[in-house]
């Protein structure tokens, strides 16, 4: 059997089993992120404001990106039939993706400024500024992708960019604004945060402090290490799952309209495009689970929130845990 007959079958099975699983886990994780970071103890943390914005963006990207795929498993692909859906799916998918990428980028910058020795820079890490910046990011990335409504159309039964220049422009926009800038900023922020935290540890060691102060410093140091670890895990996963898709976008922009491709080459290109885009969506679905695995304090707060919701919905359950009076 040729690749042109094997790869579409593999892709269909991924649509049937992988995409619904990723969508279910992603929606659950994003909603739990929003629920947890909306709690009072987190609302006062500017970084958590950005994480709420990122979770909203992930929800939008996953719903518009994965639901049409799942539907097309046993039905004709609606993106290649309904022109309005061809445009809106890519528009909202791109808007949601850019929203969560830039929100995560700003979360890294926020942690970088909060760990700074410069007082003015630390003022940037405030909830009020975080709310304003998140709103601005949302406004920008719901305006910039309007070109999707102009240059995306169904041509010869496919939802494609036309003319070729529009495909190149869109790819460069996604590569630069959604890939190079966020990845570079995340890496630089991680390096600066690590450097500042190291300086703070050295400063604490040189100062003579009381036992209470040392205990408080150990708590702060532990929290800083968890934050830094979560940040590094986030950066590594983001690069690993997003970079293949970005590279493939560049390739597609310059080869999509080649007319001398063989059937196997077309099948391989389509499968690579599908797989790399799926990896990018998997990052959206995994953020909550990365936080849960990386941070013990995140897990503790999550348990408290779930416990409070359970007892609120089922108050009678708490009665069975009480000791009957003698």
DSSP class per residue in 59-92: HHHHHHHHHHHHHTTSS--GGGT-HHHHHHHHHH
pTM of this structure: 0.83
Helix (H) or strand (E) holding 161: strand 158-161
Q: Show me where the domains of the chain are located.
A: 8-295
Give SS3 for 158. Answer: strand
Q: How far apart are CA 125 and CA 113, in angstroms?
A: 6
In this prediction, residue 177 carries a pLDDT of 92
* Closest alpha carbon to 35 in 316, 304, 219, 321: 304
In this prediction, residue 149 carries a pLDDT of 93
Q: How far apart are CA 5 and CA 11, in angstroms?
A: 11
- pLDDT tens per residue, range 200-241: 777 766 765 555 555 665 665 565 566 667 767 777 888 888
CA atoms within 13 A on the CB side of 189: 26
* Closest alpha carbon to 284 in 52, 62, 21, 74: 62
In this prediction, residue 143 carries a pLDDT of 95
In this prediction, residue 255 carries a pLDDT of 76
Give SS3 for 208. Answer: coil
In this prediction, residue 114 carries a pLDDT of 81
Q: What is the average pLDDT score of the chain?
A: 81
- pLDDT tens per residue, range 242-280: 888 888 888 877 776 677 778 888 888 888 988 998 888
In this prediction, residue 148 carries a pLDDT of 93
In this prediction, residue 200 carries a pLDDT of 72
Name the most confidently modeled range: 29-33, 45-49, 89-93, 113-117.
89-93
- Those residues whose C-beta lies under 8 Å from the C-beta of residue 280, and which sit 6 or more positions away, are 97, 241, 242, 245
Where residue 315 falls among pLDDT bands split at 50, 70, 90? low
In this prediction, residue 242 carries a pLDDT of 86
Q: How far apart are CA 68 and CA 183, in angstroms?
A: 28
**What would the CATH number be for the domain defined by 8-295?**
1.20.1070.10
Taking 80 as the threshold, does the pLDDT of residue 323 lie above it? no
How does strand 152-155 pair with strand 158-161?
A: antiparallel
Q: If you average pLDDT over residues 114-138, what whole number do you get?
A: 88
């Amino acid at each position: 059997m040729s690749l042109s007959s094997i790869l579409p079958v593999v892709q269909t099975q991924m649509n049937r089993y992988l995409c619904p699983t990723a969508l279910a886990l992603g929606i659950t994780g994003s909603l739990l992120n929003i629920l947890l970071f909306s709690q009072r103890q987190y609302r006062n943390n500017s970084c958590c404001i950005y994480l709420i914005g990122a979770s909203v963006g992930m929800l939008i990207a996953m719903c518009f990106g994965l639901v049409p795929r799942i539907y097309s498993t046993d039905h004709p692909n609606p993106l290649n039939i309904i022109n309005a859906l061809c445009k809106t799916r890519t528009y909202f998918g791109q808007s949601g993706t850019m929203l969560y990428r830039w929100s995560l980028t700003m979360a890294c910058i926020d942690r970088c400024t909060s760990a700074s020795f410069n007082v003015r820079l630390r003022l940037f890490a405030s909830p009020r500024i975080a709310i304003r910046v998140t709103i601005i990011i949302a406004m920008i990335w719901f305006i910039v992708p309007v070109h999707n409504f102009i240059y995306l159309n169904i041509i010869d039964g496919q939802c494609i960019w036309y003319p070729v220049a529009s495909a190149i422009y869109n790819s460069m926009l996604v590569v630069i604004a959604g890939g190079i800038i966020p990845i570079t900023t995340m890496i630089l922020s991680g390096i600066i945060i690590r450097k500042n935290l190291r300086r703070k540890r050295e400063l604490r060691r040189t100062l003579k402090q009381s036992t209470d102060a040392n205990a408080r410093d150990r708590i702060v140091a532990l929290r800083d290490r968890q934050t830094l670890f979560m940040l590094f895990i986030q950066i590594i996963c983001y690069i690993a799952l997003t970079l293949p898709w970005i590279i493939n976008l560049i390739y597609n922009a310059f080869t999509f309209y080649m007319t001398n491709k063989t059937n196997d080459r077309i099948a391989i290109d389509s499968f690579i495009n599908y797989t790399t885009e799926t990896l990018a969506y998997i990052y959206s679905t995994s953020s909550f689970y990365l936080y849960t695995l990386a941070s013990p304090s995140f897990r503790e707060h999550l348990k408290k929130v779930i416990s409070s919701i359970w007892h609120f919905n089922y108050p009678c359950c708490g009665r069975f845990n009480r000791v009957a009076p003698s």
